[in-house]
Chain A
């Protein structure tokens, strides 16, 4: 206590002395303070732990990836892939040419093929829509067949027995009369025959029943819903198809004359068309054949590279295997066995494979490559030049265009390979930076491959980015528009209805939204895309139900509440006096909103959009369910239509693969690298949102 304040006061207790119990010199107030402070810092500690954990798990990736890339190079796989690039590109071109050719040939018989298609569709529709009737008919018919088989068997048995009896007869004529085996058997046969007759009667009944149902169905408009096939049938064709549909019953054999006629016309026309386009076919074949020498050339190289890689991989694990053997030898007591295991351990080859020697074959093949490749390219070029310029169908035209651009790429690869092959060295080291960039810019994410695993972020990153962009493009106008309306225009009653409703969306579990996306949105979008007069929309008709667009639209729905709430806050923060001042100057409500309120809130709205972006790029469940999960960079050659391609995402791949890979493998580490990238993206987004908001707060 205070002792130096004066003579008198030292005896009197300090009037301002602190009251209450103190532990370690800390009072109640301090404990409360530290408790809350501790809670706050706990969040920060956890964040740091997450960072550290991510880094530790991902740490091994770079060296591991470098090792993998080096092995890929040392074993000659890289060299082989140079050449395989060329071959694959050639195959892609061939495919397009081939599609174009068949489009031409099939064009002539399109009408017939469509009619047959329509028939099949209608028949399936009728059979499905008849409920259990068609199935019931099938069952009774099967039953008749079964009974008939039984009868057959019974008769055979009876015949055998009779034969046996007649064989025995001369020896013992009395036995026949005594045993008389034919009599009970004929009873059985009679019984079967009776059953068959009954079953056949019910078949008749069922058939009649089915035909009535089918006829009724054929009269219904919905059965003829062929819009998707882009077909409009005349009354006559409808009649014929109806007839054919009624003709087909489960026990019908052969085709209805109308259908078989259509099929025949179709195949005849195709034959004629094939003859007509024989030149085209020859060109396609010629083009296809050009690659054969390259295939023959690369095949042994590929085998050798694979062999080398196996050696490299086994060398990679040799040390560990040997250690394991030695350790187990220690535990074994039986001397003979111990020696055996030690011998095995000795045998483990821990020497680095002689890559110089192993890769000689590749260096030796370079001159041959320089001979073959130009010849191959020239032959392809020659074939390409002969491709007919004029084709009659859109599909053929389109595919020929694509074939041409693919071929251009092929020539580019050829040119690149010319140098790449010469400059290739199996022992050129891969730097850490190189390993890192091969992750960031790698175009393939291939795992569990028998050839070479590569971990390239690009397909996942592109998928995530495209989906998020679509989500934002769709969500921003809706969310910001709704925020402006609710904050500035809507009467109080509407406000108090719209705001909670939009904010409720945030509470919907994303898995439920995912269901909705697959079952409702995906199907609806796809059906919409197949409406013939919407075919001008890029990417329509969509070939996949689950794709970037569907996922993007769903995520847009999820981003709306985030953006809406924050944008509405930003608008709310605009002082009411701004509105008053503007109105007093003779501005209309709309002018005030768009010239004063929204510009004032713009940085807050931008921050809202950024956080919305963060929300969608981190979303996992919906994209995993709806994006289509195809690990490939989407085909940007379609232009905007690229959004109808399926894709995989960074979040999706982690959710999908992490449970299945064994801990500590390079695949595992690669997934953590993806996680780190996501983490970094979120950090950047949040940081920029804060920066933008700081600008906002200055106002």
Chain B
């Protein structure tokens, strides 16, 4: 808990944005032989070990039910909502701390590790209040601070120009793509280190998808992004590294270009060439 809440200074922006094979990037998420079971018995993740680096977009691909979303939801412990679910083996460390340590405050973890869900879902509040929500629950009451954070977040998410005249309007009155970008703005307003995206574009039309993908590319300058996607083109478009999952195991993880052009594993090749999945 201590490391998560205080130990990490913002390294955002100070990092160089070079190609992954260049200078060594700092390690943000590391999983070590992680197994996980929803019912506490039958593992749906099998001994997964991987490393995710800062200022990169990491894509998780794989057929339905392969465990990619499950792993993603473990990074901010959303699986805690299911009473019987638990890690059966290994550990996950984020920013250098073991997040399943009993001393970890889940709330502090989630402030550092934000999440954007498949179904865009603004609260039934105004646009402004949606973005301000994370700050307000963290106890921020100063209007100037919130005003500034709301504007910054909306600008970062590319929504500012579209909604600046109607911040008091309901967030639910926006179009689907706008709502998803509002959810992203809501997430980045809390200033997390990592943003987890669980199929963020699957409910959007192609134009909105393009906008969100642009946004992801811009955001990686400031945040570490992990994105789960079914869409392999999307993975190639937005991600720096890609991890391929199959039946609960991590089959292969490599630079996106390398993985898609020259996979080392047969399953990967079969999947990306469209033979199954």
Contact: A584 with B137, CB < 8 Å?
no
Contact-residue bracket for chain A = 10 to 19
Q: How far is the CB of B234 from chain A (nearest CB, A)?
A: 22
Contact: B115 with A584, CB < 8 Å?
yes
Knowing A577-B119, A584-B78, A586-B137, the reply to whether A600 touches B124 (Cβ < 8 A) is yes
Q: How far is the CB of A55 from chain B (nearest CB, A)?
A: 42
The answer to whether B99 has its CB under 8 Å from any CB of chain A is: no
Knowing A599-B124, A699-B124, the reply to whether A580 touches B81 (Cβ < 8 A) is yes
Nearest CB in chain A to that of B123: its residue: A596
Question: Which residue of the partner chain, among B81, B108, B119, B125, contacts A583 with CB atoms under 8 Å?
Answer: B81
Knowing A586-B138, A699-B124, the reply to whether A580 touches B78 (Cβ < 8 A) is yes
Interface pick from B182-190, B206-214, B256-264, B268-276: B182-190
Within 8 A of B (CB), among A568-602: 575, 577-578, 580-588, 591, 595-596, 599-600
List the A side residues contacting B124 at CB < 8 Å. Answer: 599-600, 699
Contact: A699 with B115, CB < 8 Å?
no
Contact: A582 with B114, CB < 8 Å?
no
List the B side residues contacting A583 at CB < 8 Å. Answer: 78, 81, 110
Q: How far is the CB of B131 from chain A (nearest CB, A)?
A: 10
List the B side residues contacting A577 at CB < 8 Å. Answer: 117, 119, 121
Question: Which residue of the partner chain, among B83, B108, B137, contacts A585 with CB atoms under 8 Å?
Answer: B137
Contact: A578 with B121, CB < 8 Å?
yes
List the A side residues contacting B183 at CB < 8 Å. Answer: 581
Contact: A578 with B123, CB < 8 Å?
yes
Q: How far is the CB of B116 from chain A (nearest CB, A)?
A: 8
Per-residue interface assignment for chain A, residues 591 to 635, with 1 indicating a CB less than 8 Å from any chain B CB and 0 otherwise:
100011001100000000000000000000000000000000000
The answer to whether B169 has its CB under 8 Å from any CB of chain A is: no
Within 8 A of A (CB), among B125-142: 125, 133-134, 136-138
**C-alpha spacing A491/B81, complex, angstroms:** 12
Residue of A581, A585, A600 with most partner-chain B CB within 10 A: A585
**C-alpha spacing A699/B115, complex, angstroms:** 23
List the A side residues contacting B115 at CB < 8 Å. Answer: 584
| CB contacts between A and B, total, < 8 Å | 61
Please tell me the number of chain B residues within 8 Å of chain A, measured between CB atoms: 26
List the A side residues contacting B136 at CB < 8 Å. Answer: 595
List the B side residues contacting A600 at CB < 8 Å. Answer: 123-124
Q: How far is the CB of A59 from chain B (nearest CB, A)?
A: 48
**C-alpha spacing A588/B76, complex, angstroms:** 14
**C-alpha spacing A87/B187, complex, angstroms:** 76
Q: How far is the CB of B136 from chain A (nearest CB, A)?
A: 8
Question: Which residue of the partner chain, among A580, A587, A596, A599, contacts B117 with CB atoms under 8 Å?
Answer: A580
**C-alpha spacing A509/B16, complex, angstroms:** 75
List the A side residues contacting B117 at CB < 8 Å. Answer: 577, 580-581, 584
The answer to whether B145 has its CB under 8 Å from any CB of chain A is: no
**C-alpha spacing A272/B39, complex, angstroms:** 89
Nearest CB in chain A to that of B116: its residue: A584
The answer to whether B172 has its CB under 8 Å from any CB of chain A is: yes
Within 8 A of A (CB), among B62-90: 76, 78, 81, 83
Within 8 A of B (CB), among A87-136: none
Question: Which residue of the partner chain, among B123, B125, B172, B190, contacts A586 with CB atoms under 8 Å?
Answer: B190
The answer to whether B220 has its CB under 8 Å from any CB of chain A is: no
**C-alpha spacing A583/B111, complex, angstroms:** 10
List the B side residues contacting A580 at CB < 8 Å. Answer: 78, 81, 117
Contact: B107 with A586, CB < 8 Å?
yes
Q: How far is the CB of A587 from chain B (nearest CB, A)?
A: 4
Per-residue interface assignment for chain B, residues 148 to 189, with 1 indicating a CB less than 8 Å from any chain A CB and 0 otherwise:
000000000000000000000000100000000001001100
Knowing A583-B110, A584-B110, A586-B110, the reply to whether A595 touches B137 (Cβ < 8 A) is yes
Contact: B114 with A581, CB < 8 Å?
no
**C-alpha spacing A585/B117, complex, angstroms:** 12
List the A side residues contacting B108 at CB < 8 Å. Answer: 586
Contact: A585 with B186, CB < 8 Å?
yes
Knowing A595-B133, A596-B123, the reply to whether A585 touches B172 (Cβ < 8 A) is no
Q: How far is the CB of A495 from chain B (nearest CB, A)?
A: 13
**C-alpha spacing A587/B123, complex, angstroms:** 13
**C-alpha spacing A277/B186, complex, angstroms:** 79
**C-alpha spacing A600/B129, complex, angstroms:** 14
Q: How far is the CB of B195 from chain A (nearest CB, A)?
A: 10
Q: How far is the CB of B133 from chain A (nearest CB, A)?
A: 6
Q: How far is the CB of B185 from chain A (nearest CB, A)?
A: 12
Contact: B123 with A582, CB < 8 Å?
yes
List the A side residues contacting B76 at CB < 8 Å. Answer: 584
**C-alpha spacing A585/B113, complex, angstroms:** 9
Contact: B81 with A584, CB < 8 Å?
no
List the B side residues contacting A699 at CB < 8 Å. Answer: 124, 172
**C-alpha spacing A575/B125, complex, angstroms:** 14
Q: How far is the CB of A230 from chain B (nearest CB, A)?
A: 52
Nearest CB in chain B to that of A574: its residue: B124
Q: How far is the CB of A577 from chain B (nearest CB, A)?
A: 5
Nearest CB in chain A to that of B136: its residue: A595
Question: Which residue of the partner chain, among A491, A575, A585, contacts B133 with CB atoms under 8 Å?
Answer: A585
Nearest CB in chain B to that of A491: its residue: B83
Nearest CB in chain A to that of B196: its residue: A584
Within 8 A of B (CB), among A222-246: none
List the A side residues contacting B172 at CB < 8 Å. Answer: 699
List the B side residues contacting A591 at CB < 8 Å. Answer: 137
List the B side residues contacting A584 at CB < 8 Å. Answer: 76, 78, 110, 114-115, 117, 187
**C-alpha spacing A581/B114, complex, angstroms:** 10
Q: How far is the CB of B104 from chain A (nearest CB, A)?
A: 13
Contact: A575 with B187, CB < 8 Å?
no
Q: How far is the CB of A594 from chain B (nearest CB, A)?
A: 10
Q: How far is the CB of B115 from chain A (nearest CB, A)?
A: 4
Question: Which residue of the partner chain, among A578, A585, A588, A595, contacts B190 with CB atoms under 8 Å?
Answer: A585
Nearest CB in chain B to that of A585: its residue: B134
List the A side residues contacting B81 at CB < 8 Å. Answer: 580, 583
Q: How far is the CB of B71 from chain A (nearest CB, A)?
A: 16
Nearest CB in chain B to that of A492: its residue: B83
Nearest CB in chain B to that of A579: its residue: B81
Nearest CB in chain B to that of A592: its residue: B137
Nearest CB in chain A to that of B111: its residue: A586
Contact: A585 with B119, CB < 8 Å?
no
Q: How far is the CB of B24 from chain A (nearest CB, A)?
A: 30
**C-alpha spacing A582/B121, complex, angstroms:** 10
Question: Which residue of the partner chain, among B83, B111, B121, contacts A581 with CB atoms under 8 Å?
Answer: B121
Contact: A587 with B114, CB < 8 Å?
no
List the B side residues contacting A599 at CB < 8 Å. Answer: 124-125
**C-alpha spacing A591/B135, complex, angstroms:** 12
Residue of A581, A583, A596, A699 with most partner-chain B CB within 10 A: A581
Residue of B137, B183, B190 with most partner-chain A CB within 10 A: B137
Per-residue interface assignment for chain B, residues 23 to 58, with 1 indicating a CB less than 8 Å from any chain A CB and 0 otherwise:
000000000000000000000000000000000000
**C-alpha spacing A588/B108, complex, angstroms:** 10
Q: How far is the CB of A126 from chain B (nearest CB, A)?
A: 63
Can you list 13 A-B contacts (CB < 8 A)? A581-B117, A581-B186, A584-B114, A585-B114, A586-B110, A586-B138, A587-B107, A587-B137, A588-B107, A595-B133, A596-B123, A699-B124, A699-B172
Residue ranges of B at the interface with A (Cβ–Cβ < 8 Å): 76, 78, 81, 83, 107-108, 110-111, 114-115, 117, 119, 121, 123-125, 133-134, 136-138, 172, 183, 186-187, 190
Question: Told that A583-B110, A586-B138, A588-B107 touch, could you supply 14 new A-B pairs with CB distance under 8 A?
Answer: A577-B117, A578-B121, A582-B123, A582-B133, A584-B115, A585-B187, A586-B190, A587-B134, A595-B136, A595-B137, A599-B125, A600-B123, A699-B124, A699-B172
Residue ranges of A at the interface with B (Cβ–Cβ < 8 Å): 491, 575, 577-578, 580-588, 591, 595-596, 599-600, 699
- 4 shortest A-B CB distances, which residue pairs? A584-B115, A586-B111, A585-B134, A586-B110
